[in-house]
Amino acid sequence: MVHPESLREVRALADSVCSTEKMITYCKTSPARRFVIVTESGIIHRMKKECPDKEFLCAPVFDVMRVPTDNCRCSECRYMKMNTLEKLRDCVKNLAPRLELPAEILAKARAPIERMLEISARA
Q: What is the pLDDT of residue 67?
A: 53
- Cα within 13 Å of Cα(99), Cβ side: 6
Task: Confirm if 39 and 76 have CB atoms less than 8 A apart.
Answer: no
DSSP 45-84: HHHHHH-TTSEEEE-S---GGGTTT----TTS-TTGGG--
pLDDT tens figures, 19-54: 888 899 999 999 999 999 888 777 888 999 999 999
User: 57 Cβ partners below 8 Å, 6+ apart?
Assistant: 34, 35, 36, 37
Q: Dihedral through CA 66, CA 71, CA 76, CA 81, nearest 10? A: 130
Which residues in the chain come in under a pLDDT of 70? 60-81, 123
pLDDT at position 123: 63
What residue type is 121 in one-letter code? A
Q: Does domain 8-122 have CATH number 3.40.50.10800?
A: yes
In this prediction, residue 105 carries a pLDDT of 93
